[in-house]
Chain A
Amino acid sequence: MPVVETRNLTKVFKEGELGAVNDVNLETREGEFLVFLGPSGSGKTTLLRMIAGLEEPTAGEILIGGRVVNDLSPRERRIAMVFQSYALYPHLTVYKNIAFPLKAQNVKKELHKEKVEWAASLLGIGALLHRKPRELSGGERQRVALARAIVREPSVFLLDEPLSNLDAKLRASAREELELFHRRVGTTTIYVTHDQVEAMAMGDRVVVLDQGVVRQIGTPREVYDEPADTFVATFLGSPPMNLVEMGDFIIGFRPEHFRVAETIRDSPKVAFDLHVQNVEYLGAEYILSGSLAGRRLDGKKVIARLLLGQSFEIGKTHQFAVPEQHLKFFDRSTGKRIEPRTLEWQ
């Protein structure tokens, strides 16, 4: 299974302006599900479109299976792509939509029926083959788009926010289906999303992008637990990581690690006074927001996420703490993560 690699890949749309994608180096692993995660305008879709061959890079190289493909057309790259809008051909039936790549790549006509039926059954749309795209629901269209992508057995799958047009309920089940589908076919997949939940749930590894720059590449656990900088720290996690400025440093800790002091017994901890300003009850948990009290940190806004079983009054001050191993340190000027150090807390 060939891998996709980019070397110093850059895209500048308007000369003199900041690039949409800047100097991106990354490499997929065989059969991997790689997610490009970033806010809108972070360059993730542009990056994907360059890999697909729909956008020409300003600088840098794209390699598929070890071969530079910069000058190859999309069809010669042997990739398949699913668009955000699915881009089904509205005048063709589902069967003809799925058969189109076979026809376009001059696959023998006798094989079409068999291959289309194989792809359709893989996605459970065998009963829809005679319908037109406008007669399908959002979820069904997505499956047709996937079937059209899989039918010619591509070496790489590119998916551009394929779930964002589905309603919330459908999205969860479609996500699960996509995961199962990937496990079954095992094709190297690059998936673009702005939804961190999708990225964490589906990705073998996540590439976090911001303003065209790769901020971090790692497994979901790595980018969540060991964020490379303050952007990654706050972009992943809901509510995001608390960041508190202290001298030359920024101290970060996740809301779920910010707990009532007396419940942390078995590890060294750093204690804070929390002045509770708001409590949100979310069924399985409480979200507490408030400000720290005490000399150096007085007035800093923080959020805590607590399980049920404790009660807090708005306006009161409580003893909270963070286990020492969960404190993250960032350089204040660059925002980059640095080694933990001992600090004068109060």
Chain B
Amino acid sequence: MAVRRAKVKSMGAAQDPALGTAMFAPAALYILLLIGVPFFLAMYYAFSDARIGNTDLHFVGLENFRSILQSPSFRSAVKNSIVFTLASQIIVIICSTILSTALENKFRGRGVIRYLILLPWVAPIALGAIAWKWILDSIYSVITWVLVWLHIFKPYGAPMWLGEPHLAMASVILVHCWRLIPFSTVIMLAGQTAIPREIPEAAAIDGAGFWRTLFQIKIPMMTSIISVAVLFGTIFTFTDMTVVYILTAGGPYDSTQTLPSLAFATGIQGSDLAAGAAISLFLVPVLVVIAYLMLRVAHRAEAT
């Protein structure tokens, strides 16, 4: 009888709705307060005439969206965001595939190199970006100094890395890649260890060389892990403004202004909260699509 009662009691505990709610509440609260509230606030502001320092709010309908769509700096920010995201993702995937392939087999010093590669991801982004700002500085740039020393450029004739539109965009992209490559490499390394050792061995016996094994066997077997890396990387890139803000603050002439940095510049620095909120809402559809794709990849990985 005692045994039976214990059993009934434990089943009762599992079905207790109060306990379930209590366990679930912190997560729900966290999402609601830190993600839900700002998100709905942004939606609310986007349809109003909110400005910093003004407590009066009026509903203005689609007015903010209309004026944003007509502004040339918004259009260039959309273009820049796309260029920034696409270019850095392509570079990151190529580099992290190479790195993870190189780091797959054991060799002396592999542990140290893995550690060094991971450093940019661990270091605070602001510090890294400030270091890069110095490296690319118009007067103190080490890169320029080395190039002058090698007689590739004349003193004072060297390019201004952050001062010319195309060079500035390239610099921002490369610094962002420097930051994302470690993350992506770690994901790819995990993906590679999931390939059984016999598969590349079978390919070698079947007569495939290094490149054929890489492109026809290994990379196809890693597509789901690569898509995880790409989707995460896209989110980190598309929503990121740290690198842009510290290196160029969107300049010169808005040539590196992306959607998040434009939203910040308009909404906070320009004190037009409503317009800033409206700009940031343009990120939502893209992120929704990416979130959907991520869930699909995760589901497919579960199914196989």
Contacts and interface: CB of A to CB of B under 8 A. Distances in A.
Interface of A: 52-54, 73-75, 79-81, 83-85, 87, 89-92, 100-101, 104-105, 134, 148, 152
Interface string B203-236: 1111111001000110011010000000000000
Contact of B196 (A79, A81, A85, A101): A85
Contact of B217 (A79, A89, A148): A89
Given A100-B208, A104-B212, 17 more contacts: A53-B204, A75-B205, A79-B205, A80-B205, A81-B205, A83-B198, A85-B198, A89-B199, A89-B202, A89-B217, A89-B221, A90-B221, A91-B220, A100-B203, A100-B216, A104-B208, A148-B206
B124 to A, nearest CB: 40
Nearest to B221: A91
10 contacts: A54-B205, A75-B207, A80-B205, A85-B198, A87-B202, A100-B203, A100-B206, A105-B207, A134-B304, A152-B207
A57 B221 CA distance: 31
Contacts of B209: 75, 104
Contacts of A105: 206-207
B208 A75 contact: yes
B212 A83 contact: no
A52 B304 contact: no
Interface residues of B, number: 19
Contact of B201 (A80, A83, A89, A152): A83
Contacts of A83: 198, 201-202
B199 to A, nearest CB: 5
B201 A87 contact: yes
Interface of B: 196, 198-199, 201-209, 212, 216-217, 220-221, 223, 304
A87 B196 contact: yes
A81 B304 CA distance: 26
Q: Which 8 A-B pairs have the closest CB atoms?
A: A87-B198, A104-B207, A87-B202, A75-B207, A101-B206, A104-B208, A105-B207, A74-B205
Contacts of A91: 220-221, 223
A100 B220 CA distance: 14
A75 B201 contact: no
Given A85-B198, A87-B196, A134-B304, A74 B204 contact: yes
A204 B142 CA distance: 72
A73 B206 contact: no
| Binding site secondary structure of chain A | loop
A344 B264 CA distance: 104
Contacts of B203: 89, 100, 104
A87 B199 contact: yes
B226 to A, nearest CB: 13
Nearest to B208: A104
A279 to B, nearest CB: 43
A152 B208 CA distance: 13
A15 B208 CA distance: 32
B207 A54 contact: no
A54 B208 contact: no
B210 to A, nearest CB: 11
Nearest to B201: A54
B199 A75 contact: no
A320 to B, nearest CB: 50
A52 B196 contact: no
A148 B223 CA distance: 24
A54 B201 CA distance: 7
A75 B204 contact: yes
Nearest to A84: B198
Which of B196, B203, B220, B223 has the most CB atoms of chain A within a 10 A radius of its CB?
B203
A75 B221 CA distance: 22
Contacts of A54: 201, 204-205
A80 B205 CA distance: 6
A159 B301 CA distance: 31
A148 B205 CA distance: 11
B202 A81 contact: yes
A316 to B, nearest CB: 49
A87 B220 CA distance: 15
Q: Which of A75, A79, A80 has the most chain B CB atoms closer than 10 A to its own CB?
A: A75
B220 to A, nearest CB: 5
A263 B89 CA distance: 84
